[in-house]
Structure 1
């Protein structure tokens, strides 16, 4: 990720109505940390590789996991581009399953030599706070460092769960850069429900 863009000036910068400004934090780990204890019961909870997922099923899980946190990219990506990513040999897709139900999504991208990007890692709302996130993160760390990488990294944002950055730091990631991203509000473009992500104010153009 490019972190060399021109810096914003000190003070307030106006964001036009109809757009949202997102503070992004980049984090990395340079060696595998000791494993963290999982609180969730092991019975019925499993991380499974998802080979060449159906686009409709993938997007349904992506929306179920990420819509409340303003995950948008894979919902609006053209089918051909998304299909190409999901079928890449160096992109690994996993789901966390509670019995037969998919309750989590994990995506690891090894396409940059010596690195792994944690592209997506999240749970459906009713699985949050029960230890399932630790199970999914432990699996992410194990699978990332099975490859000969020197760096495991991710980016998150302040639209995400309020405990996300602290969770990543407890997992062994260290923040190293921050950016601001300005985009159209997807709730106004029809790409998300108007009542999604209530923690992000909806400001309509006058």
Structure 2
């Protein structure tokens, strides 16, 4: 009988925020045919598809342990917006904006599927998410967090686009 050995992962979460609208313009469409589509009445499988496709190699597991009701209540909350990046006709990434806290938007999720990484779409997607967050509602700040398990350029990309680290926490989990 095979025994599966659990691995202890230690990681650091960086919490960042942006307190004013950035000065950059909406990103220009690159050499790819791109669209950003706002979803409504998102089926749980669609959210979980992106969560797994984007997050599997970065150990995104927290939302896999939630009940269908918890998932549904978050994904389909009227103050949580889901956007899909379509590249050349196929879903290449997504982001979610959470406006449930007064005067704050949290960039809850942002990422690309494996086939879209390295094509220059990360900066495009992040800038679009940032400007969409500030454009859609009256907010005083935009927040996001990333961890040392995420893509190696994630923290740099957030800071390059105007986010400032405000807190760090160390965690560990068995995988």
Q: TM-score, normalised by structure 1?
A: 0.77
CA contact (8 A) 1:40 1:132 kept: no
Q: Per-residue CA shift, 1:139-172, capped at 9, x if unaligned? A: 2111111211111011100001111111001110
Hey, what's the Cα distance between the residues in 2 that align with 1:113 and 1:39? 31
Alignment-derived partner of residue 41 in structure 1: 30
Alignment-derived partner of residue 169 in structure 1: 159
Q: Determine if the alignment matches structure 1 residue 159 to structure 2 residue 149.
A: yes
Q: Determine if the alignment matches structure 1 residue 60 to structure 2 residue 53.
A: no
Higher strand proportion, which one? 2
Hey, what's the Cα distance between the residues in 2 that align with 1:160 and 1:139? 20
Alignment-derived partner of residue 3 in structure 2: none
The total of aligned residue pairs comes to 169
Alignment-derived partner of residue 67 in structure 2: 78
CA contact (8 A) 1:36 1:134 kept: no
Hey, what's the Cα distance between the residues in 1 that align with 2:42 and 2:34? 20
Shift of 1:99: 2.8
Hey, what's the Cα distance between the residues in 2 that align with 1:37 and 1:56? 30
The structure with the larger Rg is 1
Alignment-derived partner of residue 111 in structure 1: 100
Q: Determine if the alignment matches structure 1 residue 101 to structure 2 residue 90.
A: yes
Shift of 1:74: 2.1
Shift of 1:40: 5.6
CA contact (8 A) 2:38 2:83 kept: yes
| Structure 1 unaligned residues grouped into runs of 5+ | 1-16, 186-206
